[in-house]
Amino acid sequence: MEKKMIAGHDIKPGKNITDHIHVEGTELHVPHVMICGKEDGPTVLITAGIHNAEYVGIQAAIELSNELEPEQIRGNVVIVPLANRSGFENRTMSMVFEDGKNLNRVFPGDKEGSEADKLAHLLFDSFIKNADAYIDLHSGDGFESLIPFAYYLGDTPSEDISKKMIDCINTQYYVRSKCRTGGAYNLASIHGIPSVLIERGEMSLFNRAEIEADKSDIRNILTMLGVLPGTHHIYPKQALTEFDETAPFTGCWYPEKKAGERFNKGEKLGEIRDYFGKSLYTAFAPQEGVILYQCSSLNIIKDGPMIAYGVPIFD
């Protein structure tokens, strides 16, 4: 069997590594922790901070990397607690500081590109492609309100295991995504690596309950995958198809609904006004659904996120 390497480290039973890997051609370094169990088993990758101002997942990943012990686990757990470290240290709103790009829109990345492209390439090449399963942690950014939910990508070779991972996540909703470009978990799924993305927390805030909920979901997935001992819980939840509407104007935004609120077709969802209070645009619901996340800042930016909502899938 081919020996897998993670970020230049070989996998050895009982090994516990805390390190940074340098992104060639940049000043960027990616912190990572590798915990190798005493027994053979799958390698599970957990990333957080691909969006650096989504703090719940970052803190959950840091705590988990200190809580998991090689004695407890079968296989290996690799944790990247803060993928976009320079964004974090320069307090960007989830953009790579050096080039202003959204890291989760540029996968698979490019070795010859700018910083975000190079970083995405390294994350895939050194971490993701060597994993047997992958969990990516996100939240609502500083300008986004959000209810907890999870994504997996449909129509992939690993869909059945991704769905089993989804079943382990304690949220009311999940989205079976069709988006096959740009994101880390999407790319992993296309390459046959079962993957999920967990969204929990909003507006760049974080609290103990959300951090514990992220950790509990991850532990539950690890148990289902056989990495942690015991039996896992299954959380029944509603399947959704996601739709989103980007902002047609830059200006002031007045949402009508809250994240998690249901609405009927034709209801007003929000309004964009100019700096004199004059209406520029009113968003109406094209169909019934539930708000998954939406812009929650007064400012809204043309072609940027405005509303993302889910429509129930009934089989």
Binding site for Zn ion (CB under 5 A): 51, 54, 138
Measured from the CB atom, is 132 or 202 closer to Zn ion? 202
What CA–CA distance (Å, rounded) separates 87 from 73? Answer: 32
Measured from the CB atom, is 185 or 309 closer to Zn ion? 185
Query: Encoding tokens for residue 282?
Result: 């009113």
CB of 278 to Zn ion, least distance (A): 33
CA distance to 82, 112, 188, 201, per residue, from 24 (Å): 18, 10, 22, 33
What CA–CA distance (Å, rounded) separates 214 from 210? Answer: 6
CB of 19 to Zn ion, least distance (A): 25
**3-class secondary structure, 59:** helix
Cis peptide before 81 (omega within 30 of 0): no
Question: Which phi and psi angles does 148 have, rounded to 5°?
Answer: -60, 135
Measured from the CB atom, is 143 or 263 closer to Zn ion? 143
Query: Encoding tokens for residue 173?
Result: 């909703």
CB of 50 to Zn ion, least distance (A): 6
CB of 152 to Zn ion, least distance (A): 16
Beta-carbon contacts of 223 under 8 Å, excluding residues fewer than 6 positions away, are 168, 229, 230, 231, 232
CB of 103 to Zn ion, least distance (A): 9
Measured from the CB atom, is 35 or 292 closer to Zn ion? 292
What CA–CA distance (Å, rounded) separates 310 from 315? Answer: 15
Measured from the CB atom, is 68 or 120 closer to Zn ion? 120
Q: Are 241 and 290 spatial neighbours (Cβ–Cβ below 8 Å)? A: no
Measured from the CB atom, is 32 or 51 closer to Zn ion? 51
CB of 28 to Zn ion, least distance (A): 18
